[in-house]
Structure 1
Amino acid sequence: MKKIYVIGAGVEGQEGFSGRALELVGRAEILFGGERLLALFPDFAGETVVIGSNLGEIVERLRKNERRAVVLASGDPLFFGVGRYLLRNLPEEEFEFVPNVSSVQYAFAKIKEPWDDAVFISAHGRGLKGAVDRIVANDKAAVLTDEDNTPAAIAAELIERGRDGYAAWVCENLGTAEEKIIETDVKGLLEIEAAPLNVLILIKEYEAGGDEYVPTLGIPDEEFSTIKKLITKEEIRVVTLAKLKLRHDMTLWDLGAGSGSVSIEADHLLPNGRIFAVERNPQCIEFIKENLNKFNARHVTLIEGEAPACLETLPDPDRVFIGGSGGNLWDILEAVDGRLPAGGRVVLNAVTLDTLTAANEYFDNAGYQVEVTTINIARTRPLTDYKMFEAYNPVYIITGLKE
């Protein structure tokens, strides 16, 4: 059976290749690679083929080729490299991979920082918002940027989300005479025009003397920045989350997020999931940003807009919480129903009989299983001579299970 050797080039040029890698290149009859990598072997006697955006053509050449072939890649070919594409399109038994030191590994060595606890992100593959979603969900990230999703663009998105508490290193042109490593912070990244070849490393920094938030259910209401009364009370939050029946990898829509309290409490229940907090009120939006930053919410993305129009670009939900509808309840429920899979749940909090009736009517007509729970809360008043109870308006928690 023919073998295709996919060999990683180290950041130090030809001297970074192992003896076996150099032997395989020397025995090859046809050598594939980018222009920079092919230039490492100016005396190669066989045919050379430049890899650019023509990966489909390269696969066809390899499929039909019967000569000894070597494909040159950067670093580890299976780390955001050409190896994944080749394995998707050709039988894996035809390949042997010979990895080298990746640019990310080299960058961490240069800044003298362990990298086994980092996440690795390609901005080219995920896009700006997807890349930043992963960054804010972790304490340490290495990002392979591109010409559009630059370190400055990533910094601007982090700042927009109020998530700029990272130390930053821009590692440029690694292994070349132009190698440069710039240490800064997220705001400093805005001033840097990075070289096209760079690795961005971000490490979360907590404020000196600050207490890291320890996730609990039922965060006291006064801990949240909010418009008065526009918050789901802590006891209601706990019951609401129980009714949602969240699993670790689900996608949750929080519609009419208000202060973001439900999203923030759901955050640690969805360590491998995603939460989209949707809000249209500009004042609430600013409070949500403050709260996301305060509680270090890792999996919450703020969506500024009015439902249902702003829901079209979101990934389909597994669970939906509706804390406020802005008078569009029926339209929102129709949009949710069109995206929610069978077995999905919608939980809606209502304080008026009108909302309760409308939601119950919709779920009945749409064939959902419906459960309504009424919660009456009374708390003792603090700092009074007598232990008096202060009652709050009853809240109806409507749960719709899609069949």
Structure 2
Amino acid sequence: MKSVHVIGAGVEGQEGFSGRALELIKQAGVLMGGERQLELFPDFGGEKVAIGNNLGEVVERLKKSDRRVVILASGDPLFFGIGRYLLRNLPDEDFEFVPNVSSVQYAFAKIKVPWDDAVSVSAHGRGLKGAVDRIVANDKVAVLTDERNTPAAIAAELLERGRSGYAAWLCENLGGDDERIVETDVKGLLEIAAAPLNVLILIKEYEAAGEGYVPALGIPDDEFATIKKLITKEEVRAVSLAKLRLCHDMTLWDVGAGSGSVSIEADHLLPNGRIFAVERNEQCLEHIKGNLNKFNARHVTLVEGEAPACLETLPDPDRVFIGGSGGNLYDILQAVDARLPADGRVVLNAVTLDTLTAANEFFDNAGYQVEVATVNIARTRPLTDYKMFEAFNPVFVVTAVKE
């Protein structure tokens, strides 16, 4: 296989190519690309090959080719483009990439907004919920949508999560005669039937809820909506989060999330991470949804279901917090052990000796390093004539590190 030039086509047609890109195309024996890109060169004298959905065929053809090949791609071939697939399947020394202006870059230029601090998200492959997870974690986002995860579908999911505080620009058919840019908001996107070729830009203007909240460990218990007693007390919460030793890009499972207090406090400790709050109790689920909106939790995904069955579809965890097991402790620990990497940590809160004993027995048999800390809390009673202490039941904080 001779060297392959992968050239990005801009949004302005053939005049958007550099002189060098046009010369490489002129010298090529084979020109590959999408139908729209190939139409830009009606007078090309060599062989034209339209690239369909089967990129495997492209790779096989490149392996056998002894002619100079140019592949036309949209914008920057290494920005959500064919370049990633080619580099995964063929040696990188076989390629030269000639980028052009990407659709995202062009869209920001059209709305006259700097984009060096923007995050780009592709809904294709990631799915609607995964795309919106990324959107709510950032203040300025460019979204490449698809026929299923449309701007309206993305807006509906944002509204479902109470995240309406974004200005929106729907940029359609960029560079074409029918180019259209609509400035609106999240609710307005619901009313627009978007063209298939579009870039959606979302810029946060305000928080829909939780204004004034400053992330800090030890949020007072009464700030959370919760079923009485189904909350990890703030002091225990702080100790448990310390024992988890969270790093910025980890994945955390919060099993038996209750009010979601642990997930919410972990949220700002994992600025590039992912948190999955697992809960089965319907009343708790409503409280968690309200708390996530109140505190603007950006990286928390609510998982409705009973563990361990609902854990199967989640990405592997780096850390696991278990606040409740619903009587399925052994099965949950088995599922966690099968997915947790070496040096992964499990922190479990036990309020009964039965749970403590069962957890210790499992971790000992599985070869974990185990530490147990007992947290005894006594708080002064407010609004009383005398400073009396009110004691809470002790909590056993079990920390287990996988060898």
Q: Structure 2 counterpart of 1:131, which letter? A: A
Partner of 2:254, secondary structure, is strand
* TM-score (structure 1 length as normaliser): 0.94
Q: Contact between 2:209 and 2:295, CA under 8 Å: does it hold in 1?
A: no
**What's the counterpart of residue 320 of structure 2?**
320
Matches within 5 A, 1:80-99: 80-99=80-99
Q: Which 5+ residue runs of structure 1 have no aligned equivalent?
A: none
Q: Contact between 2:376 and 2:393, CA under 8 Å: does it hold in 1?
A: yes
**What's the counterpart of residue 346 of structure 1?**
346
2-structure distance, mates of 1:211, 1:81:
38
The offset of 1:54, in angstroms, is: 3.1
The offset of 1:61, in angstroms, is: 2.4
**What's the counterpart of residue 379 of structure 2?**
379
1:300 partnered with 2:300: yes
Q: CA RMSD in A?
A: 2.0
2-structure distance, mates of 1:361, 1:26:
72
**What's the counterpart of residue 153 of structure 1?**
153
**What's the counterpart of residue 104 of structure 1?**
104
Q: Structure 2 counterpart of 1:364, which letter? A: D
Q: Percent identity?
A: 83
The offset of 1:212, in angstroms, is: 4.4
Q: Contact between 2:210 and 2:293, CA under 8 Å: does it hold in 1?
A: no
The alpha-carbon distance between structure 1 residues 329 and 202, as it changes in their structure 2 partners (threshold 3 A), is same
**What's the counterpart of residue 394 of structure 2?**
394
Matches within 5 A, 1:66-215: 66-207=66-207, 211-215=211-215
Residues 133-180 of structure 1: CA distance to partner in whole angstroms, max 9, x if unpaired? 211221111111111221122223323333333222221111111211
Q: Structure 2 counterpart of 1:369, which letter? A: Q
The offset of 1:355, in angstroms, is: 2.0
2-structure distance, mates of 1:239, 1:209:
28
2-structure distance, mates of 1:254, 1:54:
39
2-structure distance, mates of 1:315, 1:210:
29
Q: Contact between 2:4 and 2:69, CA under 8 Å: does it hold in 1?
A: yes
Q: Structure 1 counterpart of 2:60, which letter? A: E
Residues 230-283 of structure 1: CA distance to partner in whole angstroms, max 9, x if unpaired? 211111001011111222222111011011110111112222221110011122
Q: Which 5+ residue runs of structure 2 have no aligned equivalent?
A: none
The alpha-carbon distance between structure 1 residues 90 and 359, as it changes in their structure 2 partners (threshold 3 A), is closer
2-structure distance, mates of 1:212, 1:38:
53
**What's the counterpart of residue 368 of structure 2?**
368
Partner of 1:337, secondary structure, is helix
The offset of 1:79, in angstroms, is: 0.7
Residues 96-119 of structure 1: CA distance to partner in whole angstroms, max 9, x if unpaired? 222111111111111221111111
Q: Structure 1 counterpart of 2:168, which letter? A: A
The alpha-carbon distance between structure 1 residues 89 and 402, as it changes in their structure 2 partners (threshold 3 A), is closer
Number of residue pairs matched by the alignment: 403
Partner of 1:124, secondary structure, is coil
Residues 277-306 of structure 1: CA distance to partner in whole angstroms, max 9, x if unpaired? 001112211221222222222211110111
2-structure distance, mates of 1:367, 1:207:
45
**What's the counterpart of residue 35 of structure 2?**
35
**What's the counterpart of residue 235 of structure 1?**
235
Q: Structure 2 counterpart of 1:109, which letter? A: A
Q: Contact between 2:209 and 2:296, CA under 8 Å: does it hold in 1?
A: no
Q: Contact between 2:163 and 2:207, CA under 8 Å: does it hold in 1?
A: no
Q: Contact between 2:376 and 2:395, CA under 8 Å: does it hold in 1?
A: yes
More displaced 10-residue stretch of structure 1: 67-76 or 362-371: 362-371
Residues 360-385 of structure 1: CA distance to partner in whole angstroms, max 9, x if unpaired? 23323333332221111111222333
2-structure distance, mates of 1:265, 1:117:
25
The offset of 1:11, in angstroms, is: 0.6
* TM-score (structure 2 length as normaliser): 0.94
